[in-house]
Amino acid sequence: MADTPPPKAPGKALVFVRRTASTLLLWGLVCAVFLSHRSWAFMGLIGVLTVIATIEYFRMLRGAGVRCFPRFGLLMCVAYCGALYGFLITGHAPPPWLEALAFFIALAGAFALQLREPVRGIESLLGVAATVLGFGYIAFLFNFTAHLIFAVPGGLETPGRVGAPGAFLLLWLLAVTKFTDMGAYITGSIIGRHKMIPHISPAKTWEGFAGALFFAQIAACGLYVLFPDELAFFENWGHVITLGFLLAVLAVIGDLAESVVKRALNTKDSGNMLPGIGGSLDLIDSICFTAPALYFYLKWFLLPTA
């Protein structure tokens, strides 16, 4: 009996249509959450994406035969999100020790689980490291989006309701990050010729990288022009342009970081939640790097006393 030929990969046009449809659907959901101004809606969206991405991460590990502790990793993700959102939704700043405690529990817990098994060389350390990495890479980094909402004065007008500054800051972050991804994809698809990092991501080109930087500035400066009052905490064009460039570079690094994970695990997409895009981790990979950078930039240079 003849072998069944592998399914034909979808063409670029079909991928583009699917990606566009998924993008429009996502932006529709983001706009609905944005217009609601309900803190539970913001936290709910962030939390759902975090949990799904964590599940996808551990599923990829198990699929590649990497020893890890997925149930413990998912429990850490849910517990951390619950504790963080509990503080933020009620209008209280999370205690400064929350993240340190979470990482301590993640590390100690992973080692405790490993104690049940005999030591099998480097595999035993990889199981602990992969589990803790899952928490730090996804739950910890992506939840800086939640911190950002309440990082600026007026971010939380009243408990349970997100103010305009916090909502527009998150919108600005998402726009800059996703315009970076879109700019890289469109420019690279049309004029991309020179490979950027072929050993990590063969599709990435230097032309696409230039397009990413340009599109990021369109989003950063365009929203600053349209909403000067809501984004007044940026103070001047210098900060807007600097942040636009910084976030664009980090968005590309974030995308390539997930490419490292997927290539190491021999996986194309983290999931199939979004046609043309992939899974939740494929969606938030860039934000995991841009959200912390924006938060610390605000705290160090723009709102040092906030």
Question: Who's near 189: CB < 8 A, 6+ residues apart?
Answer: 12, 16, 208
CA-only gyration radius of the chain, Å:
20
pLDDT tens digit at each of 306 positions of the chain: 344 444 455 555 666 666 667 667 777 888 888 888 888 899 999 999 999 999 999 999 999 999 899 999 999 999 999 999 998 888 778 898 999 999 999 999 999 999 998 888 888 899 999 999 999 999 999 999 999 988 887 766 666 788 888 899 999 999 999 999 999 988 988 887 888 888 888 888 899 999 999 999 999 999 999 999 999 999 999 999 999 999 999 999 999 999 999 999 988 877 676 666 678 898 899 999 999 999 999 999 988 665
Helix (H, G, I), strand (E, B) or coil at 274: strand
The H or E element spanning position 156 is strand 156-158
pTM for this prediction: 0.89
Query: 278: which strand partners?
Result: 274
Tokens standing for residue 5? 């030929």
Tokens standing for residue 166? 């916090």
In the block, tokens 């217009």 appear at 35
pLDDT (0 to 100) of residue 97: 94
Question: Who's near 208: CB < 8 A, 6+ residues apart?
Answer: 183, 184, 185, 187, 188, 189, 192, 196
User: Distances in Å between the alpha carbon of 217 and those of 53, 147, 183, 256, 302?
Assistant: 28, 24, 10, 20, 19
Residues 56, 279 contacting (CB under 8 angstroms)? yes
